[in-house]
Structure 1
Amino acid sequence: MENEIDTLTGLIIGCAMEVHRTLGPGFLESVYEKALAIELGLQGLSYERQMPIHAQYKGHAVGDFVSDLLVEKKVLVELKACQTLHDRHGIQLVNYLTATGINDGLLLNFGADSLQFKRKRRIYTPSHPQSCQSCNPG
């Protein structure tokens, strides 16, 4: 399974590199999201855009969020278009992974001169139960 995820994340990064090479930095995040979705489709990869994530606290709805892309129902992809990635961007992705129950994520930044990317994994700690609910990725 891990080799499959490694291969998939490599394909996603390759698609992102093609988008960045073609468009360059300077566009809004939404432009890169649409372009990446097109490139993923051209490579035969399935994806969902703008996946809703519903946060709950002790059974009460406390917020709604949207993840950029879910590829092959296995890798959550969060896009940025800023000069550099910050720790808070990685924390946001890990929170989305925890909320959805998806194990693997990619953080992609199209705003720098060259594509920046980081792979993140969901952290499971039994002493801290999930406080969020989302779609069923399986």
Structure 2
Amino acid sequence: MRPHPDHLSALVIHSAIRIHQHLGPGLLESSYRVLLEEMLLREGLRVARELPVDLAFDGIVVPHAYRVDLLVERQLVVEIKHAERPHPVHRQQLLTYLRLLDLPHGLLLNFGLGTMKEGIARVSNPRTSAARGERMN
């Protein structure tokens, strides 16, 4: 049985908050990515780290054009940042990943702020198959 996206989001957020509370904002993005992946694996979730994503347009394919930080249970994209201020391009980057993967939800986690709560953004993709009324296999 697939976990509900809200449940997945809650697990990811809880884990991110725990990491941030104990280690603070001073680590590299790659450290947060590995720590978060390991915590989610301990929860029994399937997690792909640095998943290559192809870009396709008008019959042209650019293999491995992007890398998604984490893909949880093949349904939730997690993009990890470490920035002193949120930047609109980070949200757009996550939305691009959601569109390329045809997934509805993602989390943008910025570990560079004073509290993790300030650094959490949920991003939704209005262009998913489900939103268009198509059946997903």
- Mapped to 2, the partners of 1:61 and 1:38 lie a distance apart of 32
Question: TM-score, normalised to structure 2's length?
Answer: 0.84
Counterparts of 1:125 and 1:66, CA distance in 2: 19
Structure 2 residues without counterparts, runs of 5 or longer: 130-136
Q: Which of 114, 122, 126 is the matching residue for 1:123?
A: 126
Distance 1:114 1:4 in 2: 26
Q: Structure 1 vs Structure 2: percent identity of aligned residues?
A: 36
RMSD: 1.9
Q: How many corresponding residue pairs?
A: 125
C-alpha distance in structure 2 between counterparts of 1:13 and 1:45, whole Å: 14
Aligned-partner SS, 2:4:
helix
Structure 1 consecutive aligned stretches of length 4 or more whose deviation exceeds 2 Å: none
What does 1:1-138 align with in structure 2 at a 5 Å threshold?
A: 4-62=4-62, 64-115=65-116, 116-124=119-127
Relative to structure 1, is the Cα distance of residues 35 and 65 closer, same or farther in structure 2, using a 3 angstrom cutoff?
A: same
Summarize the Cα distance change of 1:37–1:125 in structure 2 as closer, same or farther, 3 Å threshold: closer
Q: Secondary structure at the match of 1:98?
A: helix
* Residue 125 of structure 1: how far off its partner (Å): 8.3
Three-state SS of the structure 2 residue aligned to 1:19 is: helix
SS of residue paired to 2:83 = coil
SS in 1 for 2:97: helix
What secondary structure sits across from 1:6 in the alignment? helix
- After TM superposition, the score normalised by the length of structure 1 is 0.83
Q: 1:13 to 1:65 in 2, by over 3 A?
A: same
**Given residue 11 of structure 2, which amino acid in structure 1 is its aligned partner?**
L
Question: 1:62: Cα distance to partner?
Answer: 4.3
| Cα displacement string for residues 79-138 of structure 1 (whole angstroms, at most 9, x for unaligned residues) | 001112111111110110000111110000001111111111112189xxxxxxxxxxx7
Structure 1 stretch 61-70 or stretch 78-87: which is displaced more?
61-70
